[in-house]
Structure 1
Amino acid sequence: MKKRFRSTNPVVVGLATGLYPFLYNYYSNFTLVDSLGQLCFFVAFFLLVPVAINICIKIASKKIPFVAKNYILLLTLSNLVGFASLLTFSILGPKKKIILLVIVLVFLLALLLKKQLKKIIFLQYLLALIVAFQLGFYIINNLNFSTQWKQLPDTILEAKFKKKPNVYIIQPDGYANANMLKKPPYAIDNSAFENFLSENNFKIYPNFRSNYSNTVTSNSSMFAMKHHYYKNPKPSSKEAFGLRKSIAGNNATLSIFNENGYKTSLLIESPYLIVNRPKLGYDYSSIAYNNLSFLSRGFDMNVNVVAEMEKAIVANKDQTNFYFVEKILPGHIPVSKSGSEGKEIERENYIDNLEKANVWLRQMITLITENDPSALVVIVADHGGYVGFNYTGELKRKVKNATLVNSIFAATLAIRWPNNEVPEFDTDLKTNVNLFRILFSYLAQEPTYRNQLEDDGSFLIVSQDVPFGVYEVIDGNGTFVFNKVSF
């Protein structure tokens, strides 16, 4: 009897239920769940809740004959159903229908395995031990906590603006630049929207491009005005640690705006950039943390940022403002091979999404220009749309086609300069990393800030066909190259 009690201890079984899914969640999604608040929540969600459920079953077994008779079965059901559903969440996120299906299937399986509970618990603890070693190894070998890459070489942090218009940075995700859209593999006639921009006094920069291949890596470099080169990744690296905090948290760009008396606002439709809950560097966010689920993977909300902007323009009319506005359109082709319908169909999908992005941009631009005609308005994408690839994962190989490389990085840029006074040095606007340095040169009327422009190269992490590493694939002159970056 004593042996049975030990093997069915509700705490032991409860911890076995959630420990492996808990550790796996951190191993596979570390940069999405690296805040203290999330750690506390997940300890409760993965570990304390299963333990509490089992304790309730144990208490009930002493008072309810049916529970006492079926105690081992109920404990097995609690363990296996909890284990499977929590592990499914760790792998796929909060996919309710899939998790429900898993629960039904495992429930039936648990009915057959009630006599194997000891072996099941042993296996679960063994899996937890294995992933604990993997997680520890990953943290030790892959997490680069250094912030040295953010150090600026001059006094731009002390910039004093001589011009103080409201500044709007509008980012349509994955919107390719004007020249790339005209050519294969895009081959899209976007002239109607380009005419709209011109009629509203926007200057289009047709060959602008990003330095990095995705939203987080591109925007973190843009706001820091520095290259990070993916923070010297290792072959087993996933997303570089700390880059999200360099976008939504305090960064050089926000610091400069704050020092010049600007209110800063982050208007985002989804919590993708703040899913790991960094300490916000903005004065206002369209998504408050108390409305953000701890279970979020970044795309489970849809805030109307046009409506948010309407409210902000009224509320902030008596002060100078900086807005960063993000829209997840037109986006890019699917990440995985399994999610792709092939490059031709994905191109058609991109065209549909581009039209939706144009409708949204017209609304946003009209709203801003009618209410704030002297504003500095910048439309800048984070990267291209990857059209011509079957899925984005193909960039892990050495891409030998210059057109496809350009499809990754070709990013739209259009600027409405106040009073249509375009500075002569706007020829320096080539890539995202130097965008804010050039804007601050304009606002502060300080030409020396342009003496420290970063290299305009574009970089990829390549892990197949060549030795693993970061490679420059477009140089500062816009030429297709393939040079490994040395650290």
Structure 2
Amino acid sequence: MNSGIKTQFDNFIKGEKDYPLLVGFFSGFYPIVFYYSNNFEDINSLRHVVYFSFLFLILPSISIFLLYHLFIRFKKLQPYRKHFLFVVVVELTAAYFSQVYFLTIKKKLLLGLLVFVCFISLKLYMHYKKIIVFILLLSVIPVLKVSEIIWGNLRKSASWQQQPDHILNTSFKKKPNVYYIETDGYASNENLKGILYRFDNSEFDEWLKEKKFTLYNDFRSNYESTLTSNSSCFFMKHHFYNINSNFKYSRDLITGKNPVLKIFKKNTYKTFFLTESPYLLANSPNVEYDYCNFNSDEVPYFNVFESKRNLSSDLKYQILKNRGTNNFFFIEKFAPNHIAVYKQQSLGIEKERISYIKRLREANKWLKETVSFIEKNDSNAIIIIGADHGGFVGFSHTLEASKKISDKVLLKSVFGAKLAIKWNTPQYTEYDSKLKSSVNLFRVLFSFLSEDKELLKNLQSDKSYNLYQPNDFSKIYMAIE
């Protein structure tokens, strides 16, 4: 058996027969499985599978096959057919990998590589099949990783999503419009005035107080990322990173049939999701909001932040257009955002801090304009300014925070988040005294709107959780009690 496999392998490597289809297929195979293994939750939709299969597998296979046969029709070029396959398998693999790793084609790098590969092909052209085998071996680890993700998805339970009481049947006694403005990465006041951020935000906070906002200065998120934090927030439950189950993922939970949307809709609210970039739409989730300012076909396949909307214009238009209904707006503003995600993108700790503060000032300006417009056109509204997590200032990049951290100041930089709420009646003080973290934000709001204090008996733990390793949801620890 083993000798038979070895014979077939030798025949493949040493034989004269060429395999242009394999060259095309494996040129895209490793990049696509690598990309899926590192971005599965972003690109797991059928739309992505079809697109990437065509782009990475079908298109190069057919193209190289046709070019090869066109190549060998000319007698003068026939002796160089293996040179052609050698150059193609190296250059095309590099081009695809450049696309999925850098999210762009590095043209100068690939041009230099092309010249180099053409040169060495004069000597090494006979070894192109060994490169195919090498690519196949490289693909084993990402294929196993994707398989593990899918298997883990099938095994995980969604039982954490169940509510402990009658909250899904809540009936509101008052129905003001609700605006949940999520300012990505906006750090808590405690963070901003601390030794890491070193920023005086009192001018903006005083402005909020003048506008009758209540500031929750020691508020924090329960999870460290937009997806994990929002999943917990919109389900009003802890998931302990057991989010992905039965082929439902964070984005499906946030934009889909979550308890928050169900409760608003039960109480005859019209629901809106307005976002600056379609980050929460990356994997084409089912959007259960009545209105979203992005269509699925407008979402880029690679870098979703390339697509932008004028969030202010979209919001103003929808407010003016929908005066006759009870409305819930989820408004996602990607500012001030957090520090760089990857080490190679980082400007260094201090420069990242300076860049963050600059974006924070811009976010404050935008918030003032937005709140002022809402107040002018919707004076009875409840306006929530709530961050999904902190700004990560003090780290060189955000992935550096995915480890066991004992420094309490650094932990607060990850989880300490801005929360300011303009309630529409003074009775809110009977409901919000235990509002400390994002998992309980909507439970407190619904208790207030329904005047049902029984709902407050099932407030969730305000504990915050973090990862030991980036993107490994099986390794978590309680970061803040």
TM-score (norm 1): 0.88
1:321 is matched with: 327
Change (3 A) 1:39 1:403: same
| CA distance in structure 1 between the partners assigned to 2:112 and 2:27 by the alignment | 17
Q: Is the 8 A contact 1:215 1:382 kept in 2?
A: yes
CA distance in structure 2 between the aligned counterparts of 1:130 and 1:337, rounded to whole angstroms: 23
Residue 253 of structure 2 corresponds to: 246
Alpha-carbon distance between aligned partners in 1 of 2:316 and 2:75, rounded to the nearest angstrom: 62
Q: 1:385 Cα shift?
A: 1.3
Q: 1:109 to 1:250 in 2, by over 3 A?
A: farther
State the match for 1:341 in structure 2. Answer: 347
C-alpha distance after superposition, 1:87-145 (max 9, x if no partner): 222223x223x2x2343133223312233322222222332345323432444357754
Match for residue 422 of structure 1?
A: 428
Give the CA deviation at 1:49: 0.7
The residue that corresponds to 1:156 in the other structure is: 167
How far 1:228 moved relative to its partner?
A: 0.8
Instruction: Give me the whole-angstrom Cα distance separating, in 1, the residues matched to 2:41 and 2:196.
Output: 33
* Mean Cα deviation higher: 54-63 or 203-212: 54-63
Aligned to 1:481: none
Task: Please state whether the residue corresponding to 2:182 is helix, strand or coil.
Answer: strand
**Partner Cα separation in structure 2 for residue 6 and residue 311 of structure 1:** 67
* Deviation (angstroms), 1:419: 4.7
C-alpha distance after superposition, 1:133-164 (max 9, x if no partner): 34324443577542111111111111122211
Counterpart CA distance in 1 for 2:172 and 2:78 is 74
User: Structure 1 residues 64 and 469 mapped into 2: Cα distance closer, same or farther (>3 Å)?
Assistant: closer
Q: CA deviation at 1:165?
A: 1.2
CA contact (8 A) 2:243 2:250 kept: no
Aligned residue number for residue 437 of structure 1: 443
* SS of match in other structure, 2:164: coil
Structure 2 CA distance for partners of 1:158 and 1:69, relative to 1, 3 Å: same
Q: Residues 126 and 394 from structure 1, CA distance in 2 versus in 1: closer, same or farther, beyond 3 angstroms?
A: closer
Distance of 1:345 and 1:171 partners within structure 2: 25
Partner of 1:120: 131
The whole-number CA distance in structure 1 between the counterparts of 2:96 and 2:442 is 43
The residue that corresponds to 1:201 in the other structure is 212
- Given candidates 376, 381, 386, the residue that maps to 1:370 is 376
Paired residue for 2:44? 34
For 1:88 and 1:188, the matched residues in 2 are separated by 39
Distance 1:202 1:395 in 2: 32
Deviation at 1:63, TM superposition (A): 5.5
Residue segments in structure 2 that go unaligned for 5+ positions in a row: 1-10
Assess, with a 3 A threshold, how the Cα gap between structure 1 residues 241 and 320 changes in structure 2: closer, same or farther. Answer: closer
**AA paired with 2:27?**
T
The answer to whether structure 1 residue 191 and structure 2 residue 202 are counterparts is: yes
User: Partner of 1:140 in structure 2?
Assistant: 151
Deviation for aligned residue 1:65: 5.8
Aligned to 2:262: 255
Match of 1:213 among 220, 224, 228: 224
Unaligned 5+ segments in structure 1 are 234-239, 476-487
Contact 1:166 1:321 in 2 (8 A): yes
Q: What is aligned with 2:310?
A: 304
Does the 8 Å CA contact 1:426/1:438 hold for their aligned counterparts?
A: yes
Q: Determine if contact 1:397/1:462 at 8 Å carries over to the other structure.
A: yes
Deviation at 1:214, TM superposition (A): 1.4
Counterpart residue identity of residue 280, structure 1: V
Runs of 4+ in 1 over 4 A off after TM superposition: 2-6, 62-70, 141-144
Native 8 Å contact 2:281 2:299 kept in 1: no
2:197 and 2:141 map into 1 onto residues whose CA distance is 46
Distance 1:6 1:293, change over 3 A: farther
**How has the CA–CA distance of structure 1 residues 463 and 39 changed in structure 2, closer, same or farther, with 3 Å as cutoff?**
closer
Which residue does the alignment assign to 2:110? 103
SS of alignment partner, residue 45 of structure 1? helix
The answer (yes or no) to whether the contact 1:7–1:118 under 8 Å persists in 2 is: no
Structure-1 separation of matches of 2:76 and 2:312? 57
Q: Which residue in the other structure is 1:278 paired with?
A: 285
| 1:230 maps to 2:237 | no
Aligned residues of 2:428 and 2:448 also touching (Cα < 8 A): no
TM-aligned CA distance change 1:306 to 1:420, over 3 Å: farther
The alpha carbon displacement at 1:406 in A equals: 1.6
State the Cα deviation string for residues 158-197 of structure 1 (Å, max 9, x = none): 1122211111100111111223322322231111111221
Query: Which residue number in structure 1 is paired with residue 299 of structure 2?
Result: 292
Partner of 1:448: 454
**Structure 2 CA distance for partners of 1:67 and 1:197, relative to 1, 3 Å:** farther
CA distance in 1 between counterparts of 2:300 and 2:401 reads 32
Give the length in aligned residue pairs.
461
Matches within 5 A, 1:175-186: 175-186=186-197
8 Å Cα contact 2:275/2:311 also seen in 1: yes
Q: Determine the structure 1 residue equivalent to 2:91.
A: 81
Partner Cα distance (1:58, 1:394) in 2: 47
Query: Which residue number in structure 2 is paired with residue 485 of structure 1?
Result: none
Select 1:16's aligned residue among 23, 26, 34.
26
SS in 2 for 1:51: helix
The change in CA–CA distance for 1:232 and 1:290 in structure 2 (over 3 A counts) is closer
Contact 1:143 1:241 in 2 (8 A): no
For the residue of structure 2 that corresponds to 1:379, the secondary structure is strand
81-90 or 322-331, which deviates more? 81-90
Whether 1:45 and 2:52 are equivalent positions in the alignment is no
Between 1:195-204 and 1:50-59, the stretch displaced more is 50-59
CA deviations on 1:324-377 (whole Å, 9 max, x unpaired) are 111111122223344333333322222111101101111211121111111111
- Which deviates more from structure 2 when the two are superposed, residues 319-328 or residues 242-251? 242-251
Q: Secondary structure at the match of 2:250?
A: coil
Aligned equivalents of 1:419 and 1:370: distance in 2?
17
CA contact (8 A) 1:67 1:74 kept: no
Task: Name the SS of the counterpart of 2:179 in structure 1.
Answer: strand
Between the aligned partners of 1:88 and 1:105, the Cα distance in structure 2 is 14
7 and 419 in structure 1: CA distance in 2 versus 1, 3 angstrom threshold:
farther
Q: CA deviation at 1:463?
A: 5.0
Matched-pair contact (CA < 8 Å) for 1:145–1:241: no
CA distance in 1, matches of 2:16, 2:293: 51
SS at match of 1:116: helix
Q: Is contact 2:20–2:65 with CA below 8 Å preserved after alignment?
A: yes
